[in-house]
Amino acid sequence: MKMRSFLLFLNLLLAWAAVPGLSALAGNGKHCSLMLSELYASVVSEADLELIEALARDPVVSVSRPEVTRSLETPVVLHLRSGKKLIFKNNPETTRTSGMNKEVAAFLFDRMLKTDLVPLTVIRTEGDVTGSAQLFVEGVIRKDGLFRTSAMRVFDFLVDTFDRTPENVIYDPRGRAWAIDHGYTFNVAQTAVCPSTSYQNSIIQVALGVPGILQRLQDLPESRIRAVLEPLLGAEPVNQLLERRKWLLAQASSCGWIGK
């Protein structure tokens, strides 16, 4: 696929016509299409680029409310002519910027780490309304028992989410687990790693069970993580992510894990 074609379609995706029924919010020039195009082009797979192309050509035909609406970000479902749907979050003024950026940053980091847990997510502007838009996953929400995979637990540790409730894990009809709702990730705390010994031991044991993720985490250059995430999050959340990365790799090595 030619880069020029990709940039064109991404810009179209970010500039679809306004959808009736969405309350207006002031746009934010910080989220320019050029910056987003560069970030996506450096990370997103060919399959995801093709999906972005298809979505860019796919008009919105109706808007509805999702079944699960316990969110401060007032999500709505955009129904597309093809039958696909997007979860669009019209973020409140006080959290809008961080919420949008964190949703996209979680998607991009997921793709960099190749865990493939987060549905395709973009920042989208509908007229004067700006928010995050995530590909809707048809499936079953797990509300009891063990609902997170090992890969998801490691991912959640790295992005520091405190909002991974059963409602934010969806299993599609093929049994694949998807992680949704990342407006409360990449938090800045007093310590990058939770000081609880039991929690630390738990996450180490889980990570040792998914050595492929540890290897990809080790192979992912710090400079690349910074280049993709800092434009969206700023330096400090990325610094703490890198501290968690360093800590986890060190602990795994001390427990016998040997990377390439």
Phi, psi torsion values for 78, nearest 5 degrees: -95, 120
Q: Identity (one letter) of the amino acid at 4?
A: R
What's the pLDDT at 73?
59
pLDDT surpasses 80 at 10: no
Residue-wise pLDDT for 135-182, tens only, equals: 999 887 776 666 889 999 999 999 998 778 888 898 888 888 999 989
CA distance 13 to 11: 5
Per the structure block, which two tokens stand in for 183?
């407006």
Quickly count: other Cβ atoms within 10 Å of residue 144's Cβ: 6
**What is the residue-averaged pLDDT of the chain?**
80
Helices (H), 27-175: 33-43, 46-56, 96-113, 150-159
Q: What is the pLDDT of residues 31-44, one digit of tens each?
A: 445 567 778 888 98
Identity of the amino acid at 46? E
Q: What are the structural domain ranges in the chain?
A: 3-135, 145-254
More confident residue, 260 or 181: 181
d(CA 111, CA 91): 24
Q: Could you tell me the pTM of the whole model?
A: 0.84
List Cα–Cα distances, 80 to 56, 60, 63, 186, 188, in angstroms. 10, 4, 9, 31, 37
Are the C-beta atoms of residues 154 and 244 closer than 8 Å to each other?
A: no
- For residues 37 and 212, what is the distance between their CA atoms, to the nearest angstrom? 29
- In the 3-class helix/strand/coil scheme, how is 56-78 assigned residue by residue? HCCCEEEEECCCCCCCCCCEEEE
At 100-131, the pLDDT tens digits run 889 999 999 999 999 999 999 987 776 677 78
Distance, in Å, from the CA atom of 12 to the CA atom of 55, rounded to the nearest integer, reads 9
